[in-house]
Chains A and B, each alone.
Chain A
Amino acid sequence: MARSLAEIRFYTPKTLEEALAIRAAERSDAMPMAGGTDVMVWRRAAPDEGPAAYLSLWGLRELKQITKRQSCIEIGATATFAQLARSPLLRENFPALVEAARHVGAAQIQNRATIGGNVVNGSPAGDSLPVLAVAPAMVVLTSKGRGTRRVPFGAFYTGYRQTVLEDDELLVSFELPLPPPGTWSGFEKVGSRRAQTISKVMAALQARLDGDTLHGVALAYGSVAPTVIRLPRTEALLEGCSPSERLADDVSGTLNQEIAPIDDLRSTAAYRRFAAVGLLRRLLRRCAAAQGRAAA
C-alpha cells in the first residue's frame, strides 16, 4: 500500500530502553534505521512498498561509541564509517576496518552510514562485512524480553539478506577480539571505478606473522556468494606459508572452489573468480611488504 511521508510513523527514542520497548511493541511493522543511507534509497525506488513505520536509532548516543575493553574493542552499532575511519583504536588494532570504512560510498555517505546498518542490511557487497568476518566479530543483540545474546559473526547470516535477528531484537554492538601482537590485517576491493562504487569483489585477510610465516589465517570474501564468506580450506593452505604474491596463485584452485560468484548487473562470475585471486595477490604482497618492514 502506497504511503506518503506524512502517513508514516517515525519513532525517535532517546534511550536504548525506549527503543527496545518500541521494537517489542511494533515488531516487524517498524523498520529500525540509523543513517538511512539504504532505507531512504529503497523508499525512493519503491515508494509503494515501504514499511508503515521507522524506528530511528540515530539519536542513541550509547550505540555510537568505540571503546577498548579488556580483551576486545567494542563498536556501537550506529558508529558511522566516518567515525570508524578516524578512530585511533581501530587504526591501531584493525587497520583493515579503517580501509573498508574509507571505501564506503562518498564522504557524505560515510557521515551517515553506520556499521550496524551495513551488517543488518546484509548485502553481500557490504564493505565492512569481510573485515568483521576475519576479526572475527561477535554480534551483540538485545531485546526487551530476552535480554542480550552474542552471536559469532559467522553464524549471523542464514542466507541471502537473511539474519538471525529476531523481530523484537536490535543489533547494539560488535565485539572485536584484540588481535595478538604481530597481527596484520588488510582489505581490498574492486568496484566499477575508484570511488563511490559498489564492490564487484572484496576480500579481507587477517593473520599473525611469526617470523616470515602466516599463522591464525582468516580470509573472507564479499560479493562472491549469497553472504559474506570465510574460506576455511584456503586459510588452511595459507597457514604456515610465507606471504608472497605467488602464494595466491598456488591456492587459487581451492579459493575458486570455495566461492560461488554469479553473473549480475555489476560483473560476471568469471571476472569475480579472476579478481578474487588478484585481490589475494594484492593482500599477500602487502602483507609480505609489512613483514619485510618489521624484519628490517
Chain B
Amino acid sequence: MSVGESVARKDGPDKVRGLTRYIDDHNPAGCWFGATVRSAIPHGRIKNISFPKGTRWDRFVMATAKAIPGRNCVPFLTEDLVLLADGYVRYVNEPILLIAGPNHDEVERAARAVEIDYEPLPAILTLDEAIAAGTTDGCQVPRPLHIRRGDIEEGFARADTIVEGTYRVGHQEHVYLETNGFIAWWEPDGRVVVKGSMQCPYYVQRALKMLFALPGEKVEVIATPTGGAFGGKEDFPSVLAGHAALLSREVGRPVKMVYNRTEDFTSTTKRHPARVHYRTGVDKEGTFTACSVDFVLDGGAFITMSPVVLSRGVIHASGPYHYPAIEIHGRCYATHTPPNGAFRGFGVPQVFFGIERHVDRIAARLGMDPVEIRRRNLLKPGMRTATGQLLRDGVSAAEVLADAVDRSGYRERSKRPAPGPGEPRRGVGLALYMHGAGFTGSGEARMKSLVGMRLTRSGRVEILTASTDMGQGTRTVFPQIAARAMNIDVDQVFVAEPDTARVPDSGPTVASRTVTIVGRVVQQLAETLARRILRFVAEEQGGGPDGYALQGTHVLSREHGTPVGTLADIAARMTEASGDVYLEQGYTLNPDIRWNEETHEGDAYPVYAWGCTVVEVALDPDTLEVQTTQVTASHDIGTVVNPVLAEGQVEGGVAQSIGYGLYEEVHWHEGRMLNPGFTNYVIPTSVDLPDIDAGFVENPFPDGPFGAKGLGELPIHGAAPAIANAIAQATGIDVCELPVTPERLLAASNAAAQGARDDRHDPASETKKGEAT
C-alpha cells in the first residue's frame, strides 16, 4: 500500500548529501565553454558585426545563423522562433552570435568585446502599445479565441446589477534554483548528444532534429537532475541545447553553456503579462445571469507557447462558476520583448486574479458575503462549463470552499475588532479555483504518451519514461504507483534516467499531467507486468496464475500463504527463459471526451482539480507593508499519492503565488530588464511567508492512477487573488493590479481619495445598472 503514504523521496539522500550531479557539475574532458552575444536593441536590422583589436579572436570559435545546417528554427506550436537572429532582431538580448573557447572567463570577455552595428526600428514594448498599434512589425501572433454560450443579451437584460472591472498582471520570473544549462557533443558516428536541465527531452530532440536536419536516432537528449523548472524549462532548453550543439559542431569538442543568474533573468522566458476585463450581470439574489470576458496577453516577440497559454486562460476565464450565458474573447499581442513562455499555471493565474477579485467586488457591490456569492454560483455535478462540458463526477468546488472556510476560521477572522492606533489592519480573503490537468481537449489522445517498464534480472522494476523529475517527485511517485499496482515494495521499483536513447516519448513534463496521465500508464503497465510474472510462476509451479500473488519482494502461493520464491529468483529465471522482460504502452484517452478545437466547445479536460485558498494579511498603517499571516488551502487532487510531496507542492505554489501577489515585478526600460538579480527582483524569504495549512479533499478520478488528478499547477492560483481580496477587505482600497506593492496601494488610495473629492461635485456618478465602475 504505497499510494497514500509519504514515501521518502528517492532523490532525497543524494541531494541532502550534496552528491547529486547537476549539469554544472559535469566537466567532460576537453570541454570548451560557450557564450552568447545578444542584441542591444529591441527592434532593428543588424548592419555589421565586428571584432575589434585587443582580443585574440583566433583563439575562439564562433557561430552565427549561417552555421546552422538545417533550419534556423526552434519549433513549438508554430515555427517562427529562430535559434539565432539572422540580420534582424526583435528583442533586447535576442541571441545573435555564439562564441566558444577553452576558458570560461575569456569567452565571456570576448563575447562582450564583439561590436554590432544596428539600424534601429521603432519598437513596441508594452501590451498597451501593442493593443494601440494593432500589429507589431516582424512578429506573428496566435489566432484569437472565442467562446460563446447562451443568450448574452438576454442574460444582461435580466441582470439587476452589472459590475465591470479590468485587472492587470505583469511578468513573473520562474526563479528556479538551478539556472538553464547544457553540455553538447558530437559522436564519431554523427550523433549529437546533449544533456542538461530540462522538463521535456523530446521537445529538445524535436528542435535539434530540425536545426541539424537529423533523424531522431541521431539525436540523444539526456535530462540531468533538474533543480526546479516551473515551466521555465519546458520551452527554453530547446534554444540553449541548440546553441550548445551548434557550437560543439563548429569546435569539434564538447561545449558547455550554463547561464549565470543575470543572463537567465534577462534572456529566458517569463509568465505572460495580461489584462483581463470582466463584465458580469447578477440578479438581486446574487446569481450570475451573464458574463463577458476580454482576455489579452503579451506574448513577446515570438509565438512559442502562446496559443496554448491563451487557450488555457480562455477556458479557465469563467472560473469555477456557472453562467446561463457567457462569452469569452482571448487575444495575444506581440511586443519587442523576450518571448513569454510556459510558467506553472499557464495563463490561468492571470485570469484567476481577475475573476476572483471581480467576484469579491460584485459581492461588495451587493453587500453580500464573499463565501455566499461563490456558494450560490459555483459549478456542481450536472452543470455545464463555459465550453459546454457537462460535469459529472469529481466536482468539488463546494467541498473545498467549505473546507477552507471552516479550517481557516474565515468567519471569525472577518469579524475582527477595529485595530488600535499603530496596530496592523487585518483582512482575510479567499479565492476559489480549478485546473484542468493534462493537455486540452483531445491533446492526450494525439500525444499517446508511451511508457516502458522492464523487469530486471535482479527482480527490480525499472520505469522508462521521458517524464523528468525537476523536484516535484516523479522519481518517487511513479514507483509508488507501480508498487501499489503490483503489490510489491516501493524499493523494488526505480525510474530510469530520462535519456531519449533509452526511454520512450511520454510527452513533456508539463500541464500537471505527469501523475494523472503518464502515471495512469505506469499503473496499467505494472498491472500487466504483475500478471505476466504470475503467469510465469504458474507455468513453473503448476496451477493457474490466480493461485499466486506478489507481495513485497516475493511471490506467494495464495492457497498456503507461503512464499514460492523471491522476485529476484523468478526474474532471473524469466529472463533466462524469454530474454528481456520489457513492456511498453501508450495512454488511451477516455473515448467519451469530445472537443472541438476550432470553436473551443466540448470537454476541455478529462477532469478538473479544485482548490480554495484563504489568506489573512496584516497591513502596517505606517508603511502600507503587507504581511501574510495565515494561509489555509484546500485542494481536491483526487487521491493523494504522497502526502508530504503533495503538501510540498501546495506550500511551494502558495509561496510563488504570494510572490506574484505582493513582491515580484519585472521592471523594464526600453525593452531591457532593469532588475535581473535577487537584489531588486524581490521574492519572499522564509520570514515573509506564514504558516501554510495544506489540506486535501480526496474526490477520486476514475481514469487517474488509483484516482489521482493533477496537482502541480493548481496551488499557484489562489494566494495572489486572495491577498488582493484580503487587502481590499482591510483597507477598502480597490486593488486591481498585481503585485500589490505599498507604492501601488498608496497610489490607489490617493486616487480613491481624489475620486471621492471629485464625486462630491458630481452626484450623478453613483453607478447604476449598465454603467462601468
Interface residues of A (CB under 8 A from B): 2, 4-5, 45, 47-48, 190, 192-198, 245, 265-268, 270-271, 274-275, 278-279, 281-282, 285
Q: Are A279 and B747 in contact (CB under 8 A)?
A: no
Identify the closest chain A residue to B675 (Cβ): A265
Interface residues of B (CB under 8 A from A): 105-106, 108-109, 112-113, 262, 421-422, 620-625, 627, 663, 667, 674-675, 679-680, 682, 684-685, 687-688, 741-743, 746-747, 750
Q: Are A285 and B743 in contact (CB under 8 A)?
A: no
Shortest distance between the CB of B689 and any CB in chain A (Å): 10
Identify the closest chain A residue to B683 (Cβ): A193
Q: Are B622 and A265 in contact (CB under 8 A)?
A: no
Residue among A5, A48, A245 making CB contact with B112, cutoff 8 Å: A48
Q: Are B622 and A281 in contact (CB under 8 A)?
A: yes
Q: Are B623 and A275 in contact (CB under 8 A)?
A: yes
Q: Are B675 and A279 in contact (CB under 8 A)?
A: no
Q: Are B625 and A190 in contact (CB under 8 A)?
A: yes
Instruction: A203 to B621: give the CA distance in the assembly, Å.
Output: 17
Q: Are A271 and B743 in contact (CB under 8 A)?
A: yes
Instruction: A282 to B424: give the CA distance in the assembly, Å.
Output: 12
Starting from the known contacts A2-B109, A47-B109, A190-B742, 13 additional A-B residue pairs (CB-CB under 8 Å) come to A193-B682, A194-B627, A195-B687, A195-B688, A198-B680, A271-B624, A271-B743, A271-B746, A275-B623, A275-B624, A278-B624, A279-B622, A281-B422
Residue among B262, B622, B747 making CB contact with A278, cutoff 8 Å: B622
What are 26 A-B pairs with beta-carbon distances under 8 A? A4-B106, A47-B109, A48-B109, A192-B663, A192-B682, A192-B741, A193-B684, A194-B685, A194-B687, A194-B688, A195-B685, A198-B679, A198-B680, A245-B422, A265-B667, A268-B747, A270-B746, A270-B750, A271-B624, A275-B624, A275-B742, A278-B621, A278-B624, A279-B622, A281-B622, A285-B422
Instruction: A48 to B113: give the CA distance in the assembly, Å.
Output: 10
Q: Are B109 and A274 in contact (CB under 8 A)?
A: no
Instruction: A274 to B108: give the CA distance in the assembly, Å.
Output: 44
Instruction: A198 to B747: give the CA distance in the assembly, Å.
Output: 22
Interface centre among A2, A45, A192, A196 (most CB of B within 10 A): A192
Instruction: A282 to B262: give the CA distance in the assembly, Å.
Output: 37
Please name all residues of chain B whose beta carbon is closer than 8 Å to the beta carbon of A281 when the two chains form the complex.
Answer: 422, 622
Shortest distance between the CB of B289 and any CB in chain A (Å): 41
Please name all residues of chain A whose beta carbon is closer than 8 Å to the beta carbon of B663 when the two chains form the complex.
Answer: 192-193
Shortest distance between the CB of B218 and any CB in chain A (Å): 38
Q: Which 10 A-B pairs have the closest CB atoms?
A: A278-B622, A271-B743, A192-B682, A190-B623, A278-B623, A2-B109, A268-B743, A194-B687, A195-B687, A275-B623
Shortest distance between the CB of B137 and any CB in chain A (Å): 29
Please name all residues of chain A whose beta carbon is closer than 8 Å to the beta carbon of B422 when the two chains form the complex.
Answer: 245, 281-282, 285
Q: Are B622 and A193 in contact (CB under 8 A)?
A: no
Please name all residues of chain A whose beta carbon is closer than 8 Å to the beta carbon of B622 when the two chains form the complex.
Answer: 275, 278-279, 281-282
Interface centre among B623, B687, B741 (most CB of A within 10 A): B623
Instruction: A97 to B750: give the CA distance in the assembly, Å.
Output: 35
Please name all residues of chain B whose beta carbon is closer than 8 Å to the beta carbon of A266 when the two chains form the complex.
Answer: 680
Identify the closest chain A residue to B750 (Cβ): A270
Instruction: A194 to B690: give the CA distance in the assembly, Å.
Output: 12
Please name all residues of chain B whose beta carbon is closer than 8 Å to the beta carbon of A275 when the two chains form the complex.
Answer: 622-624, 742
Identify the closest chain B residue to A286 (Cβ): B422
Please name all residues of chain A whose beta carbon is closer than 8 Å to the beta carbon of B112 when the two chains form the complex.
Answer: 2, 48
Please name all residues of chain A whose beta carbon is closer than 8 Å to the beta carbon of B743 when the two chains form the complex.
Answer: 267-268, 270-271
Shortest distance between the CB of A255 and any CB in chain B (Å): 14
Q: Are B687 and A279 in contact (CB under 8 A)?
A: no
Identify the closest chain A residue to B667 (Cβ): A265
Shortest distance between the CB of A113 and any CB in chain B (Å): 14
Instruction: A169 to B667: give the CA distance in the assembly, Å.
Output: 39
Shortest distance between the CB of B684 and any CB in chain A (Å): 6
Please name all residues of chain A whose beta carbon is closer than 8 Å to the beta carbon of B675 when the two chains form the complex.
Answer: 265
Instruction: A281 to B105: give the CA distance in the assembly, Å.
Output: 50
Instruction: A281 to B622: give the CA distance in the assembly, Å.
Output: 7
Identify the closest chain B residue to A270 (Cβ): B746
Shortest distance between the CB of A199 and any CB in chain B (Å): 11
Q: Are B682 and A197 in contact (CB under 8 A)?
A: yes
Please name all residues of chain A whose beta carbon is closer than 8 Å to the beta carbon of B685 when the two chains form the complex.
Answer: 193-196
Please name all residues of chain B whose beta carbon is closer than 8 Å to the beta carbon of A265 when the two chains form the complex.
Answer: 667, 674-675, 680
Please name all residues of chain A whose beta carbon is closer than 8 Å to the beta carbon of B750 when the two chains form the complex.
Answer: 270
Please name all residues of chain A whose beta carbon is closer than 8 Å to the beta carbon of B680 when the two chains form the complex.
Answer: 198, 265-266
Q: Are A279 and B623 in contact (CB under 8 A)?
A: yes
Instruction: A274 to B682: give the CA distance in the assembly, Å.
Output: 21
Instruction: A50 to B621: give the CA distance in the assembly, Å.
Output: 43
Instruction: A44 to B473: give the CA distance in the assembly, Å.
Output: 35
Instruction: A265 to B675: give the CA distance in the assembly, Å.
Output: 8
Identify the closest chain B residue to A280 (Cβ): B622
Shortest distance between the CB of A286 and any CB in chain B (Å): 10
Instruction: A197 to B623: give the CA distance in the assembly, Å.
Output: 15
Please name all residues of chain A whose beta carbon is closer than 8 Å to the beta carbon of B747 when the two chains form the complex.
Answer: 268, 270
Shortest distance between the CB of A244 and any CB in chain B (Å): 10
Instruction: A270 to B680: give the CA distance in the assembly, Å.
Output: 19
Instruction: A194 to B662: give the CA distance in the assembly, Å.
Output: 12
Instruction: A195 to B688: give the CA distance in the assembly, Å.
Output: 8
Residue among B108, B624, B688 making CB contact with A193, cutoff 8 Å: B688
Please name all residues of chain B whose beta carbon is closer than 8 Å to the beta carbon of A279 when the two chains form the complex.
Answer: 622-623
Q: Are B742 and A271 in contact (CB under 8 A)?
A: yes
Shortest distance between the CB of B750 and any CB in chain A (Å): 8
Please name all residues of chain B whose beta carbon is closer than 8 Å to the beta carbon of A5 when the two chains form the complex.
Answer: 105
Shortest distance between the CB of A90 and any CB in chain B (Å): 24
Please name all residues of chain B whose beta carbon is closer than 8 Å to the beta carbon of A197 when the two chains form the complex.
Answer: 682
Identify the closest chain B residue to A273 (Cβ): B746
Shortest distance between the CB of B29 and any CB in chain A (Å): 23
Instruction: A47 to B685: give the CA distance in the assembly, Å.
Output: 29
Shortest distance between the CB of A264 and any CB in chain B (Å): 10
Instruction: A45 to B667: give the CA distance in the assembly, Å.
Output: 18
Instruction: A4 to B110: give the CA distance in the assembly, Å.
Output: 12
Interface centre among B112, B421, B622, B674 (most CB of A within 10 A): B622
Instruction: A198 to B674: give the CA distance in the assembly, Å.
Output: 16
Instruction: A4 to B105: give the CA distance in the assembly, Å.
Output: 7
Residue among B262, B667, B746 making CB contact with A274, cutoff 8 Å: B746
Shortest distance between the CB of B618 and any CB in chain A (Å): 12
Q: Are B624 and A274 in contact (CB under 8 A)?
A: yes
Shortest distance between the CB of B670 and any CB in chain A (Å): 14
Instruction: A195 to B689: give the CA distance in the assembly, Å.
Output: 11
Instruction: A275 to B621: give the CA distance in the assembly, Å.
Output: 10
Instruction: A282 to B623: give the CA distance in the assembly, Å.
Output: 10
Please name all residues of chain B whose beta carbon is closer than 8 Å to the beta carbon of A285 when the two chains form the complex.
Answer: 422
Interface centre among A196, A271, A279, A281 (most CB of B within 10 A): A271
Shortest distance between the CB of A210 and any CB in chain B (Å): 24
Please name all residues of chain B whose beta carbon is closer than 8 Å to the beta carbon of A195 when the two chains form the complex.
Answer: 685, 687-688
Please name all residues of chain B whose beta carbon is closer than 8 Å to the beta carbon of A282 when the two chains form the complex.
Answer: 422, 622
